[in-house]
Structure 1
Amino acid sequence: MKTSFFSTALFSVGLAFSTLVNAGEIADRVEKTKTLLVGTEGTYAPFTFHDKDGKLTGFDVEIIEKIAQKLGWKTEFKETAWDGMYAGLNAKRFDVIANQTNPSPERLKKYDYSAPYNYSAGVIVTRADNDSIKTFADLKGKKSAQSATSNWSKDAREQGAIIVTVDSLAQNLEAVKQGRVDATVNDKLAVLDYLKKQPNAGLKIAVESDKKIPTGFAFLKGEEELITKVNQALEELRQDGTLKQLSIKWFGDDVTQ
């Protein structure tokens, strides 16, 4: 059955009205419960992972915890596979994503982001003995291991790579190591952390992008009140030196500028 223009218009108005009615409901709940529900992977070192004692930790985890402390809130983490992360936010299983999320043009149509708390760059990782990839354009026709919904997957696809879908950074790099793929495009900071821990992995950073990529916390649209509070706390952490201290702790350098 065809839908008339009038019916479609009514649906659009109703959807917009529903969105406005629900706007700010998460901020209200957080303020009442004093608890921020945080979506994170728990498998993406050094940003969000479990230490040898099984405790959830990492750069992103510590920053969102410090923000919550500034605001007088507790944090409750909801560990979620990356490919289901935004679906979890849509379903309001959690209030915010703390997982090195980048505000791409596509995501900005659906979500809002905090101010950036660190910057990184995209890199191509290959086997150490692979000299066939020296630029991003060299990905054309090559197999690249990527998480299905990551920005890095989109970058690799746009360069003409053949995407082999896997679930995590560790699996991306393992696929390269085993020779099942030619490369993976991923976050420079995460890759450096991996190579630091596994110097004999037989991998190398073959190419680094010259584009600086900002990272922020992701929220549903309509939660400006919540985002404003998070940004204010984040700025306090920047001003008092906490943000820089956490950066040096995890990376040995200040990646927050």
Structure 2
Amino acid sequence: MSAPERIPPRSVTSVDLLAEGELTVRGRIREASNAALFCTVAYEGQEASCVYKPVAGERPLWDFPDGTLAEREVAAYEVSEATGWGLVPPTVLRDGPHGEGMVQLWIEATPDAELLALVDGEEPGPGWKTIGFAEVGEGRTALLVHADDERLRRMAVLDAVINNADRKGGHLLPTGAGRLYGIDHGVTFNAENKLRTLLWGWAGEPLTAEAVDVLKGLQSALGTSGALAERLGGLITAVELDATRARVDELLESGRHPQPSGEWPAIPWPPV
């Protein structure tokens, strides 16, 4: 008699783990403006740390519909995945101990003093890009700069596409493996121009050839029959989806990084 066929174990992805695993709350992240819970999630012998933001813990905002921030976080992940850059940690929308919410893989960040800095003088040094002047106390100002870094430049393009209204320095998580992730994407995808970020160093400069290719891919994926458009359609409104398409079109038409509009504060506060 022949031996029974052995079925290899199914490979569990990070998204599988987050979406299907048992979620256990371990504590609260007190620095967050909305309810953010530190959790572990376990599934089929695998376990990971994650962040769970229940919709019930979202604070109302005047310029975003109530109860939509978790969906916007997932939408930002979907766009990041469509770029191929992997700039947003795996993120899902699911039920949890406090109701439906966003669950995102926890990223253990490694402090990186080479991404943001305050310097004296009016011009950045080699390898740095100007953000603007900042008050540092006792009537003194210093030049706030960010690194001329390919990872940050990709993040700037992603933020322009998703219309990120809150790209603070603390939302940038470099890892020991050299990766860079962005988190806290609840205030994104507004139909009005809300781009507010620290990553203005390339404002008005030509997009890289890589960015143009990525944007062309997004343009196709956001078409009426595109897979990305279908996924985003369940997370943001039709008007917001159309505005996302328009932002991609505008970036491709101009071929340049956007510049501050002057209609909205360009830099988030506090910046870090």
Same fold (TM over 0.5): no
Question: TM-score, normalised to structure 2's length?
Answer: 0.24
- Structure showing greater relative contact order (alpha-carbon pairs closer than 8 Å, 6 or more residues apart): 1
Structure (1/2) with the larger helix percentage = 1
Question: TM-score, normalised to structure 1's length?
Answer: 0.25
